[in-house]
Amino acid sequence: MSEFSDHIIYGDESGDHGLKSIDPGYPVFVLAFCVMAKADYTQWVVPAVQEFRFDVRSHDSAILHAQEIRKTTGSCPTLETNMTYLAGIPRPKPKEP
């Protein structure tokens, strides 16, 4: 038995976690997780995100913030452009059960 899992989990939050002063411009709190096989992560996700960072910011150490992407602020292109870009990335075929 392996000491480590074959899967990786990422978690992130967005929005305002405080209930006393809710931001009317963004009145939500989201907690999301993504679970994937490490092999899929290294083969598909890492190269795609690195290429996206080079294309958007000309370097791969850029931090991507959802607000910049969603609101088209900073140096990020529009969300529509990002989705069109991401749609062109080849996806792995689903594994048969």
Task: Give per-residue pLDDT as tens, 42-82.
Answer: 998 888 888 877 877 677 776 766 666 666 555 555 555 55
Between 94 and 81, the higher pLDDT residue = 94
The structure tokens listed for 27 are 């009145």
For the chain, strand residue ranges (E) read 7-15, 29-37
Burial 1-38 (b: 16+ CB within 10 A, else e): eeeeeeebeeeeeeeeeeeeeeeeeeeeeeeeeeeeee
The structure tokens listed for 20 are 């006393």
What is the residue-averaged pLDDT of the chain? Answer: 75
> What's residue 6's pLDDT?
94
> What's residue 95's pLDDT?
67
> What's residue 33's pLDDT?
95
> What's residue 54's pLDDT?
80
DSSP three-state, residue 42: helix
pTM of the model: 0.57
